[in-house]
Amino acid sequence: MRVLALDTSTSAVQAALVDLDDDELFLTSFRREIDGRGHVEKLAPFIEGCLADAGKTAGDVEAVVAGIGPGPFTGLRVGMVTAAAFADGAGIPVYGVCSLDGIGGNTRGRALAATDARRKEIYWAVYEDGVREGEPQVSKPAELPEWVSGSGGADYAIGEGASRYAEQLSVPAETVPVYPDLVKLVELAAPRLLSGAPSEQLTPLYLRRPDAQPAAPRD
């Protein structure tokens, strides 16, 4: 099964073609650029580039997997709308996966996966040997709960948010940014893909209201 995978939950604009063969996954083509304001301009060309690199067309794609956040409103929306539109136009299913799972799902031990939520905050979740505990959260880096930052908490932190706010975290952080792994997102969606589960309505994990708010009505 040939899968188009997309994620725009971070400053990394990402697209890939991943082949799923039973329990094996193969990265066929991949595009990424770190540009927190370039999601709109770059994602569609990246999809076209991935198809061209693989010598395929949109008609060769059998399903779409999209990271659904958490992430800042504008960038996240671009990826999800694009994924839904591609799937609808091709008549194929689309499935959503928590973007943080594309980081934390590759970890070992007890890890904090964190992305940049802007407003000097991070989106985060804790993983035990790659399995997420609870739901994603948003908070300031220095205000993590005691069960995360204290004794028995996370052993280390990983992700763009961890590297950016390493000095404010009470958990040792990797200083090289790590972004959601598109192959991992497809792996996590594999049970749905292989079983032919119905296409999903993608629901974004914003965790808070967008920065842009409607103007208050005037009297």
Domains in the chain: ranges and CATH = 2-99+180-195 (3.30.420.40), 101-164 (3.30.420.200)
* Whether residue 217 has pLDDT greater than 50: no
39-54 helix and 73-90 helix, angle to the nearest 10 degrees: 40
Asked if 104 and 130 count as a contact pair (C-beta separation under 8 A), the reply is yes
Q: What is the mean pLDDT of the chain?
A: 94
Phi-psi region of 82 (alpha: psi -120 to 50; beta: other; left: phi over 0): alpha
* Whether residue 132 has pLDDT greater than 70: yes
* Whether residue 215 has pLDDT greater than 50: no
* Whether residue 216 has pLDDT greater than 70: no
